Amino acid sequence: MRRTRESERPAPALTAEAVAYREAIGRFMAGVADGRGVLLPLLHALQEEFGHIDDALVPHVAEALNLSRADVHGVVTFYHDFRRQPAGRHVIKLCRAESCQARGGRAIERAAVERLGVAMGTTSADGRVTLEPVYCLGLCATGPNALVDGVPVSRIDGARLERLAAQVAA
């Protein structure tokens, strides 16, 4: 049997998912004058569109930006704002910074885990809510704080936590 060089083999057919990734990358890159320094903005745009940065997306990003897969993977795994799994319908980010902790943040976190029925850093089995840590929202004077679906919520106490839990359950 004759061996063929890698370049002589036909490229594998792209999945519908891969086509969607490539189209999204192409749309983003069309609006960029220079491809340098666009990795973070591109990843944010892709996460906005797809809800997370799937491992299958990494090679397409690497190819588009002429980077190694390791470079792209390193950025995705380093920054906490990039999700590698789909988030729930609602995302609650609880602040773990010192100021919020000093104002009762740990107790609020324990109560949130219990009330929402989801561990920190995970999504509920029904896909309703994702509970994530965040390290300082810049609202230190009004802690404990959270972001609920991107909206800042300050001075969280037991009553406010109950209202938030009811809001995400609806």
The answer to whether 93 and 146 are in contact (CB under 8 A) is yes
User: Checking phi first, is residue 66 left (phi over 0); if not, alpha (psi -120 to 50) or beta?
Assistant: left
Q: Is 100 annotated as a binding residue?
A: yes
How many C-alpha atoms does 151 have within 13 Å on its Cβ side? 7
Dist. CA 146–CA 81, nearest whole Å: 14
Tokens of 31: 């609006």
Tokens of 44: 């944010």
**3-class DSSP assignment, residue 148:** strand
Tokens of 129: 């809510």
Known binding residues are: 95, 100, 136, 140
Known binding residues for [2Fe-2S] cluster are: 95, 100, 136, 140
